[in-house]
Amino acid sequence: MSADLVDVHAHWLPTDLFGLPPNSPFGAMHDRDGELFLGDVPLSIRTESMSDVDAILADMDAFGIAVRALSTPPFAFAVDADKPAGDYTDSYNDALAKVVSDSAGRIAGLGSIRLDDADAAERQIQALAAQNILSGIAIPPVLRGASFDSGVLREVLRSAAAHRMAVLVHPMQLPRPEWSKYYLANLVGNPVETATAVASSILGGVIEELPDLRLCFVHGGGCAPSLLGRWQHAWEARPDVRAGSRANPRELFRIPFFDTVTHDQVALDLLRAHAGEDRIVCGTDYPFDMAEFDIADFVDHSGLDRATIERNGRSFLGVRVTSAALS
C-alpha cells in the first residue's frame, strides 16, 4: 500500500451519554442484548461499535485505517433552543479528548457544541481550541429552518474559522411525512439536508467570507454535485441567486472538502470532476448500516490516489499520521 487511510467520518458515543441531550427529538439510545436502539427503533448496530474504543480500533486494523476521526452520532447534536445542553456537550468533549489523548495518534476528535445560542457556542469553540486536543467540531447542515448563510450556524462557522477548528457537516435525518417509509428520511433526506448547506455556504457568501475554514461535507456532498450545474445557471440568470456571492458556484465548490461516502463509482466520479481530487477525503460513516465498511477496497477501485486523500484528510483534521498510527 502506498499510503494509509485517514477516515474523517465515524461516530462514537460513550454509554453514559446514551440518554442524548435535553429534549432530544429522537428519544434515548439504549442497549438490548448487545444491539443498539434509538427509542424503539433498532439501529442495526452492535452497541460496542458505537461505544467501545477497543472495538473501533479493531475495526480500523481490520480495514487498514491508520487514523479515524470520531464525532457524535447526529441524533446527539444539542439542537434544542429551550433546554441548554452545555453539561452534555462538555461531558462528551471531555470523554472524547481522553480517547484522543490515549490513542497514540490513531484517533482524532471532532467535538460537540451547544447549538441553541451563538455566544455559548463561541465560548465552547474557544475552549476546545485552547485545549488543543480535538481537531474541530461536528454540526448539522440545517437548524431551526436556517442553514449556513444565517443564524447560529453562520456564527458557529465564523468562530470555527477564527479558532482554526475543522467543521464536519453531518445531516440529522430530519423526518417529513412524505419520507415516512422505505428509510427515505435517510436515503433522500440526508442528501437534501447536506446539499442545502453546500448551496447556502456557496450562494450565501460563507465560503468567500471564510476562505481558510476547514469545512467538510459528508456523504459526498449529498446531491450537491448533481445540482451544481443548475446552481451555476441560476447564478448567471437571476440577480437574487447571485446577490450573496461574487464568485461563481463552480469556483467555490472546489474549496470545501467532501468525503467518499457515495456508495457509487459514478457519483464519486462526478464529485471528483466538480471538486477536484485534492478536496476529497476518506470517510466511512462507521458504525451505521449505511457505512462504507471496506473503505480500502472502495478507494482502491475508485481510481483515487491514496497519498492524495491521506494528505487531504490530514489537512482537514490538522493532524499528522504518527509512526504509532502507521505501525
Which stretch of 23-27, 111-115, 217-221, 254-258 has the lowest confidence by average pLDDT?
Answer: 23-27
CA torsion, ordered 45, 218, 164, 205, to nearest 10 deg: -150
- pLDDT tens digits for 156-195? 999 999 999 999 999 998 889 999 999 999 999 999 999 9
Beta partners for residue 269, in sequence order: none
**Residue 322 has what pLDDT?**
46
Cell numbers for 189: 433526506
Mean pLDDT of 237-249: 95
- With cut-offs at 50, 70 and 90, classify the pLDDT of residue 326: very low
- With cut-offs at 50, 70 and 90, classify the pLDDT of residue 81: low
Which stretch of 38-47, 104-113, 195-204 has the lowest confidence by average pLDDT?
Answer: 38-47
pLDDT at 210 over 50: yes
**Residue 259 has what pLDDT?**
98
- With cut-offs at 50, 70 and 90, classify the pLDDT of residue 324: very low
Mean pLDDT of 228-251: 96
**Residue 197 has what pLDDT?**
98
Work out the percent of the chain whose per-residue pLDDT is above 90: 84
Q: What is the mean pLDDT of the chain?
A: 92
Amino acid at 208: E
pLDDT at 308 over 60: yes
Burial class (CB in 10 A: 0-12, 13-18, 19+), 114: buried
CA torsion, ordered 288, 291, 293, 295, to nearest 10 deg: -150
Structural contact between residues 253 and 195, judged by C-beta atoms closer than 8 angstroms = no
Q: Please enumerate in sequence order all residues whose Cβ is within 8 A of that of 23, keeping only pairs 6 or more positions apart, or say none.
A: 80, 82, 83
**Residue 3 has what pLDDT?**
66
Each as own residue / partner, the long-range contacts of residues 183-186 (CB below 8 Å, 24 or more positions apart, any chain) are 186/290
Structural contact between residues 127 and 114, judged by C-beta atoms closer than 8 angstroms = no
How far, in whole angstroms, is CA 220 from its chain's centroid? Answer: 11
Mean pLDDT of 101-129: 95
- With cut-offs at 50, 70 and 90, classify the pLDDT of residue 12: very high
Cell numbers for 97: 479528548
Which residue segments constitute the domains of the chain, with CATH numbers given?
Answer: 5-318 (3.20.20.140)
User: What is the rounded CA–CA span in Å between residue 214 and residue 283?
Assistant: 16
CA torsion, ordered 124, 127, 132, 134, to nearest 10 deg: -20
Structural contact between residues 92 and 111, judged by C-beta atoms closer than 8 angstroms = yes
